[in-house]
């Protein structure tokens, strides 16, 4: 049986117990169970391994991130989480270097964009990485199209320095 179903049953049971506690005038215990049900519900929709991989990537521990990503089965993820799985795969492939890694990273970033990333910054990062890969493959038109999409997605201006660097790389082609 799928673990998501088991976790969902556990969340429903905790929620029912919380409602029962409220009816028995155990308000404090009911609130605690309600918070526990919320936490368990969050863990049903998110993969704990992906969360740990994101944390280790943020800390700069690429080896740890790779080991946690390799433990994830993408078929058992929800579609949005599957997008972030491929996003992490692409980021770790880019860090690996080499032409084979860039090809793998390009495939992973395209899969992540097709499966859906929630945040515009993540979409912009994926498209920026695809633009860099296109530049390395001497595809100037594709890179300029991706850069224009990155500019549209970067509403806060957080990626202006990276966009300038990629434009410098475009001029060299």
How do residues 92-149 score in pLDDT, each as one tens digit? Answer: 888 766 556 888 899 999 999 998 888 888 899 999 999 999 998 889 899 999 999 9
Report pLDDT for 57: 87
pLDDT of residue 145: 93
Tell which CATH classification among 1.25.40.10, 3.90.1150.10, 3.30.70.20, 1.10.3720.10 matches the domain 48-171: 1.25.40.10
Query: What does pTM read for this prediction?
Result: 0.80
Residue 97's pLDDT is what? 60
Q: How far is CA 138 from CA 15, 101, 116, in A?
A: 56, 17, 27
145 vs 160: CA distance, rounded Å: 16
Structure token pair of residue 156: 């806060």
| Confidence at residue 37, expressed as pLDDT on a 0 to 100 scale | 92
Q: Is the per-residue pLDDT at 1 higher than 70?
A: no
Between the CA of residue 28 and those of 8, 19, 118, what are the distances in Å? Answer: 23, 12, 35
State CA 172 to chain mean position distance.
32
Q: How many helices (H) and strands (E) does the chain have?
A: 9, 0
Largest CA distance in the chain: 73
**What pLDDT, on a 0 to 100 scale, did the predictor assign at position 47?**
82
Average pLDDT for residues 41-50, to the nearest whole number? 84
Whole-angstrom Cα distance, residue 87 to residue 57?
12
Q: Do 56 and 68 touch, CB atoms closer than 8 A?
A: yes
State phi, psi for 118 to the nearest 5 degrees.
Answer: -75, -50
Domain boundaries, the chain: 1-45, 48-171
What's the pLDDT at 18?
94
Mean pLDDT of the chain: 88
Chain segment 3-43, per-residue pLDDT in tens: 778 888 999 999 999 999 999 988 999 999 999 999 988 88
């Amino acid at each position: 049986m799928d673990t998501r179903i088991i976790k969902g049953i556990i969340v429903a049971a905790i929620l029912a117990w919380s409602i029962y506690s409220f009816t028995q005038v155990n308000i404090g215990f009911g609130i605690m169970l309600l918070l526990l049900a919320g936490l368990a519900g969050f863990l049903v929709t998110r993969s704990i391994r992906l969360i740990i991989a994101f944390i280790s990537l943020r800390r700069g521990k690429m080896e740890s991130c790779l080991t946690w990503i390799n433990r994830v089965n993408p078929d058992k993820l929800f579609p949005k989480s599957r997008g972030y799985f491929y996003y992490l795969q692409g980021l770790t492939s880019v860090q690996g270097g080499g032409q084979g890694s860039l090809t793998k990273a390009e495939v992973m970033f395209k899969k992540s964009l097709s499966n859906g990333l929630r945040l515009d910054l993540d979409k912009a990062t994926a498209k920026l990485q695809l633009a860099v890969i296109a530049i390395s493959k001497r595809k100037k038109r594709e890179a300029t199209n991706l850069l224009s999409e990155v500019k549209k997605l970067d509403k806060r201006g957080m990626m202006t320095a990276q966009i300038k660097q990629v434009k410098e790389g475009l001029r060299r082609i």
